[in-house]
Amino acid sequence: MVIPSFSFSRIPQIYFGAGSFDNIESIIGSQARSALIVTGARSFKSTEKRSRLQEMLSNRSITAYDISVSGEPSPDLVDSAVAEFRGKSIDIVVSIGGGSVIDAGKAISAMLTQTVSVVDFLESVGTGIKHSGEKIPFIAVPTTAGTGSEATKNAVLSRIGPGGFKKSLRHDNFVPDAVVIDPELIRHCPPAITAACGMDAFTQLLESYVSTKANPMTDALAYSGLSYVKDSLVEVYTGGSRSIDSWAGMAYGAFMSGITLANAGLGIVHGLASPVGGYFDIPHGVICGTLVGPATRVTIDKLRTRGDKGMPFLRKYTNVGALFTGSDNEDIHYLCDTLLKTIDEWTETLKLPSLREYGIGESDFDRIIDGAGNKNNPVHLDRNEIRKILK
């Protein structure tokens, strides 16, 4: 069996498990006298962990500054935060929140060392200058199980509107220095956020598993993540299990999705999520959760027409279908169809809204398709096939 050549990005120092939140004290205290704490607008502030954080910072005589992020971060938010805190001698940036909060903190830590706008460094829309990679040390503490941003080297920033975009600030050094993954934080998520974030994690695991850039390491990690998401996602959404183990399973799956997307890339769903998220004010997880079913169906249908060329990727979809059903049926087409059925059932159970509910109609398809990319989808899809996914 031939192993393709591949490289693998570094990952953060990991603190995983219930109660791991308390590690923040020693992580910050060992290297900082002042810290910038980036949080969401509401959720973390209403938990007992907020008081615990204040206590830990006080124990170490650490001066703390706060900033809240509401919605997906924009370049203007990052520039404003950097202007406010550049003169505060920030030693460390700590993001405690969902993917948007982590992306915001990641970008702020990278831009506190710079004197220009973050837009100048953004892929495709910037001035083309390269970031040096110099940053303020950064810790990520996810409170949702979704984007996997706690494991990646890019911060996604959005400017929403007719000329909008969703682009990355990216450098190998922007991988968080440490990540604290405490499922006790994640279990406080509202059901709608749990659903959208969970489907984002699932989509990233599936797309990286079948990516044209996948390798044995990413395959192993993606499959491991999928096995935990399979057992956890519906349970944590419906409240069918009060065990912390289910929340830990989702947290683990999301973290694996960040590692695998960073090393294997993603497919057509995320190729569409960029223009959709730039033009419309719609949560990233909703976009992915809504599109992953039809995108997987269109991709599998095209692979089936390619005979032997499509078979390696169909076998991968088959592996996921067998994992999800526990079936010993080895028929490729049966297991692919079973996987598609499972995704449809999840979408219905999790009550994910359609794109139409966010004002997207067929008149918008052409400009979305113009901005979309196949990325590392297992088979190239043309405009008509992408239109079919959207419709």
Lowest mean pLDDT among 35-39, 125-129, 291-295: 125-129
* Mean pLDDT of all residues in 213-237: 96
pLDDT in tens, 239-291: 866 789 999 999 999 999 999 999 999 999 999 999 999 999 999 999 999 99
Total-model pTM: 0.95
Average of per-residue pLDDT values in the chain? 94
Q: How far apart are CA 99 and CA 85, in angstroms?
A: 22
Q: What pLDDT, on the 0 to 100 scale, is given for residue 241?
A: 61
pLDDT in tens, 13-37: 999 999 999 999 989 877 789 999 9
* Higher-pLDDT residue of 101, 187: 101
Tell me how crowded residue 151 is: count the other CB atoms within 10 A of its CB: 28
| % residues pLDDT > 90 (the chain) | 84
Q: How far apart are CA 265 and CA 271, in angstroms?
A: 11
Residue 359, classified by CB atoms within 10 Å of its CB into exposed (0-12), middle (13-18) or buried (19+), is exposed
Q: How far apart are CA 80 and CA 159, in angstroms?
A: 15
Q: What pLDDT, on the 0 to 100 scale, is given for residue 127?
A: 86
**In contact, 146 and 254? CB cutoff 8 Å:** yes
Q: Which domains does the chain carry? A: 13-186 (3.40.50.1970), 191-390 (1.20.1090.10)
Q: Which residues lie below 8 Å from residue 182, measured CB to CB, with a gap of 6+?
A: 17, 18, 19, 20, 21, 141, 251
The arrangement of strands across the sheet holding 178-181 comes to 13-16, 178-181, 138-142, 92-97, 34-40, 63-69
**In contact, 173 and 135? CB cutoff 8 Å:** yes
Q: How confident is the model at residue 161 (pLDDT cuts 50, 70, 90)?
A: confident
DSSP 100-149: HHHHHHHHHHHHTT-SS-GGGGSTTTS-SPPP------EEEEESSSSS-G
